[in-house]
Amino acid sequence: MRVVTAVIAIASGILVLSGYFFPGLSGVQTILLTWAIILAGIAVFSGIGNLILVHTDKVRRNEKGGVYSALLVISLIATVSLGIFLRPEHTAMKKIAMDGIIIPVEAALMGILTISLLYAAIRLLRRRMDLMSILFLLTAVIILWGSATLPMGDMPIIGTFARWWTQVMALGGMRGILIGVALGALTTGLRVLFGADRPYGGN
């Protein structure tokens, strides 16, 4: 059985990859990618079903945190129902889901992340006082000052440095991370393609 799954995975990968180089195989590539999208959708639905079952069981058993589980299930069902009947592009969906829930939650999480980042920088200085720790704390403070809305108004020098740092240095680091992720995904795909890794059927 493991050999069969390995042969299917390798053959599918070769056909999909060949579709980019040989136009005659583009139809087979499209069919395989369509099947993959359908299977991914089924996996998402299975995950949602498992999420609902786990949290409803927690509510039924009256376990600790059952209130949050009930809130999660109710919110999930309400959001899906509104999305089906009103459609995602409806004005009410944008106001309720985006402006009323998602954006405030993201803002709150960013605020918590800011405090956590400063706290981590201070703890880092207490444990290891070196140049990199000081630079980390100074960079975090300057970027926060340059991005926050202060009562005395914006600080031109700090704001300019913060924008330069986020648009040049941070963007360069982000691109480096994306290149690393792409190379890692390519390496993993090649290992699966050559049968070195078999996440679909064990070793």
**pLDDT digits 0-9 by tens, 67-83:** 888 988 888 888 888 88
CB distance 21 to 5 below 8 Å: no
Q: What is the pLDDT of residue 179?
A: 93
- The mean per-residue pLDDT over the stretch 113-128 comes to 80
Nearest to 188 by CA among 7, 19, 4, 13: 13
Q: What is the pLDDT of residue 159?
A: 65
- Whether the full predicted model's pTM is greater than 0.75, yes or no, is no
Domain boundaries, the chain: 1-66, 130-203
- One-letter amino acid identity for 113? L
Residues 6+ apart with CB under 8 A from 86: 92, 93
Q: Which tokens go with 199?
A: 């996440």
Could you identify the residue written with the tokens 């944008």? 94
CB distance 99 to 88 below 8 Å: no
Alpha-helical segments (H) within 61-155? 66-86, 91-93, 103-127, 131-147
- One-letter amino acid identity for 40? A
- One-letter amino acid identity for 98? M
| Res 203 pLDDT > 60 | no
Q: What is the pLDDT of residue 46?
A: 92
Q: Could you tell me the pLDDT band of residue 50, with boundaries at 50, 70 and 90?
A: very high
62 to each of 58, 68, 73, 90, 174, how far by Cα in Å?
Answer: 6, 11, 15, 37, 44
Q: How many CB atoms lie within 10 A of CB 179?
A: 10
| Res 42 pLDDT > 90 | yes
